[in-house]
Amino acid sequence: MERGLALEGFDPDSSLQQALAFRIRVAESVKEIPFHQHRKGQLIVALHGGITCEVEQAMWMVPTQYAVWIPGSMPHSNRATTNARICFLFIEPGAVAMPEQCCTLKISPLVRELILRLAEHPHDEDGTPARKRLVQVLFDELPHQPVEQLRLPMSRHPKIRLIAEQLAQDPRERRTLAQWASLLAMSERNLARLVVKETGLNFRRWRQQLQLIIALQLLIDGEAVQKVADALGYESTNAFITMFRKSLGTTPGRYLASLTP
């Protein structure tokens, strides 16, 4: 069953089914759902394009082959790229052992296909033997999906949000901490302290984490390493590869190879 990003008014909490899945088609007019919450936990799987999920103190940018897990009753917002294809899986609290905190999961081909198959089932057929078997296999597999570090520490502080939004919109942005401080009418020292206080990382490491997440999105979507390096404003491909290796312990090529079953 395919719906729009906002599920066209459907409330997943109105059902007591153990698992509900929806295929989502993102239209130009509805690309963002503001902060909301629901009793059920939610797994958001990126099938094509990307989705950004934000909770109180962090942001997740989820590329294809990955998913973000949001525990039940956790306020969050979702934003997707135009023409993205997404799958929402809502899970009744306590139905399966899932992480207690919001996180990114690398989804296996089997789990992806199980969720897509579940999305094809009418939601009023919870009691059929075939659907029960499908849900049970899915629940057997879900706890084994590896957690990946695609998290950007975030803050509701307006100045931190301004920096994050501008860097996300233009990854080539190379303003120094001093230049950002001047733009925000602050001293460089005070801005450096604010970034650490609000995100737990220094400015250089925080910006690098954002760049790494964007790089992974582009690489997984098929962009060449050279084009990714250019998109992030690196002076050379080697400089980008060095950053990538220091962050993830491997080169972009080997990382992508590891995604192939």
**CA–CA distance, 211 with 4 (Å, rounded to integer):** 29
Phi-psi map region of 233: left, alpha, beta (phi>0 left; psi -120 to 50 alpha): left
Q: Could you tell me which CATH number the domain at 2-148 has? A: 2.60.120.280
> Rounded to 5, what percent of the chain is helix, strand, coil?
40, 20, 35
Structure tokens that stand for 217 in this block: 């999105």
Phi and psi at 19, nearest 5°, equal: -150, 135
What angle in degrees, to the nearest 10, is found between the helix axes of 129-141 and 109-120?
150
Q: Could you tell me which CATH number the domain at 156-258 has? A: 1.10.10.60
How far from chain centre, in Å, is Cα 83? 16
CA distances from 60 to 68, 86, 118, 236 (A): 7, 15, 25, 27
At 250, which amino acid appears? Answer: T
**CA–CA distance, 186 with 147 (Å, rounded to integer):** 37
- Mind listing the pLDDT tens digit of every residue in the chain (261 residues)? 455 555 555 677 677 788 999 888 776 555 677 788 889 999 999 887 777 888 877 888 777 778 999 999 898 888 777 677 889 999 999 999 999 888 889 899 999 999 999 988 766 656 688 888 999 999 999 999 988 777 888 888 999 989 988 888 888 888 999 999 999 999 999 999 999 999 999 999 999 888 888 888 788 778 899 999 999 999 999 999 999 998 878 899 888 777 655
For the chain, which residues make up each domain, given as ranges? 2-148, 156-258
- Nearest C-alpha neighbor of 20 from the set 105, 138, 107: 138
Model pTM score: 0.75
2-148 and 156-258 agree in CATH topology: no
